[in-house]
Amino acid sequence: MPSKPPHAFTDLLAGATRSAVHLEMRDSYAVDYETGPFAEWRAGHRLDPADRSSWRRPWLSIVEEATTRGVVIRRARIVSEPVSEYTRFLHSFTFTNLAAGEKVRWLPRRQASTIALPGNDYWLFDDHTVYWNHFTGDGNSAGGEVADDQATAKLCSEAFEAVWARATPHDQYEIH
């Protein structure tokens, strides 16, 4: 059973000593068509690989700090194909995640059909603490929840490893 109240996500990542894996299974997250990074991307703005100061902060700084102390961070994204406009947006700046030290892979949803997957996106820290990401129907965050029981960690670990084994590394994944 999930514990309450949930720990702050950043505290969980800061406390990780070996690994942090993240499974994303939605085709869009909190899309704002009027303002913000997605709207700017739709208008033609692209991040400059040479201008690290323009990248998403503080997230990338948090990742860099964790990977510098030896935490391996892997992110797998299960996506529908042809991909959504939002997935194209994510793909366009994933180079920043890689530069910060994350490893990222993509799995077409049709290749995930035989994998037993949890019902929500999640982070798994050091193979024992799960941070569930809850979202509303339109992709806005509905908060997080921590679970630290062995059965939940095992479910998430096995699901992630199955996805990771089938997924394509970011630099080889072609958008369809």
Q: Which domains does the chain have, with CATH numbers?
A: 9-172 (3.30.870.10)
What is the residue-level pLDDT of the chain in tens, covering all 176 positions?
344 344 588 899 999 999 999 999 999 998 888 888 899 999 999 999 999 888 877 888 999 999 999 999 999 999 999 999 999 999 999 999 999 999 999 999 999 999 999 999 999 999 999 999 999 988 889 999 999 999 999 999 999 999 999 999 999 999 98
SS3 50: coil
CA–CA separation, 6 and 3 (whole Å): 6
| Contact present, 81 and 176 (Cβ < 8 Å) | yes
| Contact present, 131 and 146 (Cβ < 8 Å) | yes
User: What are the tokens at 57?
Assistant: 């902060």
SS3 81: coil
The beta strand positions in 60-116, using DSSP E, are 72-79, 103-108
pTM exceeds 0.85 for this model: yes
